[in-house]
Structures are given as structure tokens and as C-alpha cells.
A and B are shown apart, each in its own frame.
Chain A
Amino acid sequence: MSTNELTLTAEKKRTIALKITTYVVSILLAMLILSPFILMLYQTFGEEIKMVNGAGDNRYLEIKPRDHIITWKEFKGLFSEGDFIGFKNSMIVTCISTFLNIYFSAITAYAITAYEWKLRAAFEKFIIVAMMVPATVSTIGFVQMCYKYHLINNLIMLIIPALATPMTVFFMRMYLKATFSRDIVESARIDGAGEFRIFNQIILPLMKPAIATQTIFCFVASWSNEWVPRIILIEGESRTLPIMGSYQGSQLLMAIPPLILYLFLSKYIVEGIALGSVKA
């Protein structure tokens, strides 16, 4: 009996030690990760950059701490016109491409899961293969295509390709594999719902956690995408935010949309896949 108690306390001791280690490591990591961003906020709001006339015709930039709280006029001065053009373009590209990506990935994953068509297994294998070949490999062909059909500076070339993203399809398929039940679909069919309606009104709401998780990742990836825009968006008017804009203003504008999206969606992504398997 006493040995049993002894091992129990030893076990407890170890658990507590591990617990403390975990907390310490997490807190240190979080602090290390977050500190540059606090520095950034300080630089934006707490410091002033001024042109100073030096000796002769020389001018130089001087950075010094602000002695007062930032005023509205100074705040407006942080942004240039290019920032807003870039913001608008980025918004258009990111919102539409994220929507297309999520919706069509979900419908493709549903097609693999719900229907027993002949090429189903082959198509699933194909998705896995395609997932491991990122689109960046075929950049040259893509850019040549843009040249040929005069689509340089066209935002469409950033939007449409997002529709076919094997990575998202694989993730959705993984989720549907765990959650999907044929009974729901069959009872909806008996009630006379069409296939398309079943997907939109029954399956999509069921996939909420997977959709939320992927929405955030796709939005961030598209929002900060630099690779293709840098090559095909040459005119200033059509540039997206990551490749244009002033230093301080664009930093702030870049940070805001993903943060807002995360605040809205985070309650769904928390235990993303967990909801799935418990039901299954």
C-alpha cells in the first residue's frame, strides 16, 4: 500500500515539474515572438521621423521619441496614396481568391467523399501527388502564359488559379472522412432536396471548423503573397500591398485584416479536427 502511495506522489511530482516547464517555455516563447511587434507599435506611434536641414544643402533623417501622443494629422501622414491603392487591390485579390479556394475545395472534397464514381480513388491519389508539387515550380510557364495572352498587370491571374488548391482539398477531405455520414444526405434526398442544395445547406455548415481553419491560412497566404505579384504586376496601379507602399503605413495596413479575420474565426479553429473524430 505504502509503495503504491509513493509511486503516486512521484508521478504527481513529475507532472507538476513538467507543467512548470511547459508554462515557462511557452511564456518565454510567446514573449520572444511578440516583442518585435510591440517594438513595431512603439516605432510607429512613439517615434517621429523628421527631415532635418544640416550644414549646407545636406538633409538627413532624424529619428527621435515623440514628446506627445500622436495627433490625427501625424497619423494620416504615416500613409501614402500608394498604400490605399495597394490595400484595395490586395483586398480584391485576397477576398475573392480565398472564397473560391475554400468553396471549390470543399465541393471537390465532398465529391470524393459522398459519391462512388469510378475514378474516385485515382482522383484522390492525384490530389495527394499534386499537393506535393507547389505552383511555384511552374512559374516560368505561368509567366509566359501571361505574356502570351496579355494578362500582365491583370489581377485575375492572381485570383482564378486559387480555385484549384490541392492542399486545401486534402485538408477538407481529411475532415470529411471523419465527419461525413451518409444518413444525413439520404434523408435530405428523401425530403426532395437537390444534390447542389444538400451541399450548400447541409454539408457546408457541417464543415465549419475545417473551413474556418483553412480560411485563415489561405487568407494569410494570399494576403502576404509576394512571389507572383512581384513578377506579373509591373504597373503601380495594379500592385498589391506587399510589393508597394510606404514603410510605416503599409505595416499597419498589412496587419489589420488578418487580425480581424482571426478574431472572428478563432473560436471555430481552436479544436478544428477534434469535433470530427468524436462523432465518428
Chain B
Amino acid sequence: MRNKNHIERHYTKWGYFFIIPFVVVFLAFNFWPLASTLYYAFCDLKHAGNTHPDFLPSIGKPLFKNFTEVLKAKYFHSALKNSFFFFLASTIPEWLLAFWLAAMMTDRRMRIKGRFIWKTAFFFPKLIAGTALAGSLLIQFISIVANGTGYSVAAFAMNGFGITADDMKFFTSVQFIIIVVSIFMHFGITFIYAVAGITGIPVETFEAAEIDGATRTSIFFRITLPCIKPMLFFITVVSVVDGIGMYDLPSYFGSFDTTRSNLTLMMYMQNQAFQGSYAYDKASAISLIILGIYIILAVIIYFILLRDKDEIQLKKLIRQERRELKKGI
């Protein structure tokens, strides 16, 4: 046994060796920029191409000047509101649809055919050009459809039912189109990952549940979802990162106007940093606020999905028993 341990130890150095490239590149291109962004947020750094930050207290200004300026701005409030609105309004329907379809398609008793074709079709918008061109195409298409249905429903509603044209306004607005298109763009990814996760569960588990007479809903909530927890975590993170950081789709509607209906946090950040006044310092402050939002969401996701409650309870029990043993001695 000692010998085997010795051999294992001989190989462990390869573990360190193999992660060197990752760690080096991560430190240089992810960590260092993040750290400098943190520093710039407390500096005065304006004008295009300027690389000489002045630390705010050293030029006699309050330390949190950038943050207070950002938090006061009307644009920031709209951006924050829009980002969360877009994220929630697109993720919730997308998830319901994607998980429902994934559960149906992987159901053993139904034997849905052509899963490959469905997967390809759903993934198509992302596949064909990512968000770049497929997005603009979908926007064109959906705005035509939305306008058409909007008008016909409005005309229909004029006859009574108490619906006015104003109620239908949302369905022809820029916001609605952004939401629908982002559902279309993102739906395929969630679907593919969900199917991959569900097919990874051993068939015996489902068989046992069926024999015990479990209904489809209870199988889904009691077996499928708990079994794909790691995958669910992955899907959630992808959704959050893409949702809060949404940038491409809303920016097709041009720079935001006075109504600020398509302004997101990333767009606001980009607008501050690389247009007009080139206020890198303010943009850094916005970046840090976005980072804060990510961290809060990440903690929530972690506690809901990844933390193993049973394991923690087990550890607690073991600790208790040990304490009692010590007392006994």
C-alpha cells in the first residue's frame, strides 16, 4: 500500500504540469484585465487611447465619484431594468418550452422519431451565424409577423372585447421582438444540453419508476431534474451569462433613443467606453456593477443547485458523533 502511494505521488506532478498553460493564460488575459478594471473604476481615465489613469484621491476627487455618477444616471436605471426584463422574459418561456420538449422527446414510452432533425432545426439559428446575421434575419421576420398580427388583432378588438390598440402595443414593440428573437436564438442550446443530460440517466432508473406507477410529471420533477443537476447548473450559467450580458440583439435596433427601450447594461457600458467621451473610468464602474450582479446570481444558483444538502448534513452528523465520543471518553 505504501508503495502504491509512492507511485501515485510520483505522478501527481503531472497534474500541476498539465494546468500550467491554462493558469498562465487565465492570469494574463482574464485575471489581470479584471484587476486593472477594478483599479480604473477608482481612477480618472478619459479620452480615446488614453493609458494613463490618475487615482482619484490623488487629484483631489472623491474615491467613489465614478460609481455615484453611474448610479445617478437615468440611462443606467433603464439599462438595469431592461437587462433584467429581457433576461427573465426570455429565459422563463424558453426553459419551459425546452425542458418540456426535451422530456417529451426522451420519454421511452412515446418513442418520438427524428430527434436528430429536431435538434438540428432548433439549433439552426445559432448554428448558421451565431447572433450576428441570424438575429437580424429573425428580427426582420418577426417584426413583420408581429406587426401583421398586431394590426389584425387590433382591428378585431375594435369590435368589442374591451381590448384597445394600446394593449396590443407591447406586441409590436422593440422589446417584444428582442425577447422573441432571443428565445429563438437560445432555445436550441438549452434543448441540446437538456437532451444530453436526460439521455445520460441510466434507463433502469426510469424503468423502476414506471413499474412503481409514477406519473410523467412526478418522474420529471423527482427523477429527471435531480439527476441532471450538474447539467442544469451548466445550462443556468450559460443562460445567466448570455441573458444579463445581452448585447448583440438589442444593438440591431441602433443606438438607444430617448425612450431607451432597447438599452442593456452591456450596451450602456460599451457606449460609455468607446463612443463620445471615451469615459473608460465610468465604464469600469459599470463593469464592476455588472460583475456584482453576476456574483449575486451565482451565489443564488450555487445554493440552489450545486450545494449537496445531504453531504452537508452527513458531515454535520459525523462531527456531532465525534464530539459525543470525545465527551464519553
Question: Which positions in A face B, CB cutoff 8 Å?
Answer: 15, 18-19, 21-23, 25-26, 29-30, 32-37, 39-40, 104-105, 107-108, 110-112, 114-118, 120, 123, 128-145, 147-148, 160-161, 163-164, 166-167, 169-171, 174, 178, 195, 199, 213, 216-217, 220-221, 223-227, 231, 242, 250-251, 254-255, 258-259, 262, 266, 269-274, 276-278
In the complex, the answer to whether A277 meets B234 with C-beta atoms within 8 Å is no
Interface membership of B214, Cβ < 8 A: no
The answer on a CB contact under 8 Å between B34 and A217 is: no
Q: How far apart are the CA atoms of A244 and B214 in the complex, in Å?
A: 56
| Chain B 7-39 near chain A by CB (<8 Å), digits 1 or 0 | 010011111111101110110011011111100
22 A-B residue contacts at CB 8 Å?
A19-B110, A22-B104, A23-B112, A37-B124, A108-B22, A111-B19, A114-B15, A115-B12, A115-B15, A128-B306, A133-B298, A134-B245, A140-B33, A164-B30, A174-B234, A220-B130, A224-B129, A226-B132, A227-B248, A254-B129, A258-B128, A273-B199
| CA A33 to CA B115, docked complex, whole Å | 16
Interface of A, secondary structure class, is helix
Q: Which residue of B lies closest to A255 (CB)?
A: B128
Hey, which chain B residues are within 8 Å of A258, CB to CB?
127-130
- Is there an interface contact between A242 and B124, defined as CB atoms closer than 8 Å? no
- By beta carbon, the residue of chain A nearest B191 is A29
Binding site for A on B (CB under 8 A): 8, 11-19, 21-23, 25-26, 29-30, 32-37, 40, 49, 51, 97, 101, 104-105, 107, 109-110, 112, 115-134, 137-138, 140-141, 184, 187, 189, 192, 196-197, 199-202, 216, 230-231, 234, 237-238, 240-241, 245, 247-248, 266, 269-270, 273-274, 280, 283-284, 287, 290-291, 294-295, 297-298, 301-302, 306
For B127, give the chain A residue with the smallest CB separation: A258
Asked whether B130 lies within 8 Å of A221 as measured between CB atoms, the reply is: yes
Q: B245 — which chain A residues lie within 8 A by C-beta?
A: 134, 136
Contacting pair B118 A26 (CB below 8 A)? yes
A139 touches B132 (CB 8 A): no
CB distance from B190 to the nearest CB of A (A): 12
With A259-B127, A273-B231 in contact, do A138 and B199 touch (Cβ < 8 Å)? no
* CB <8 Å contact, A139 and B287: yes
- The contact of B25 among A123, A128, A160, by CB within 8 Å, is A160
A21–B192 alpha-carbon span in the complex (Å): 20
Residues in B neighbouring A148, C-beta threshold 8 A: 51
Say whether B8 contacts A116, CB under 8 Å: yes
Q: Give the CA-CA distance A110 to B123 in the complex, in Å.
A: 29
Collect the chain B residues with CB atoms within 8 Å of residue A251's CB. Answer: 129, 133
Q: Are B274 and A270 in contact (CB under 8 A)?
A: no
Assess whether B125 is in contact with A123, with CB atoms less than 8 Å apart.
Answer: no
Most chain A CB within 10 A, of B15, B107, B121, is at: B15
Question: CB within 8 A of B109: which of A15, A26, A117?
Answer: A15
Residues of chain B lying within 8 A (CB to CB) of residue A132: 237, 240-241, 294-295, 297-298, 301
> Would B105 and A22 count as touching, CB distance under 8 A?
yes
Cβ–Cβ contact B37 & A140, under 8 A = yes
**A137-B37, A140-B40, A266-B116 are known contacts. Are A161 and B128 too (CB-CB below 8 A)?**
no
Known contacts being A22-B105, A111-B19, A140-B283, is A40 close to B137, with CB within 8 Å?
yes
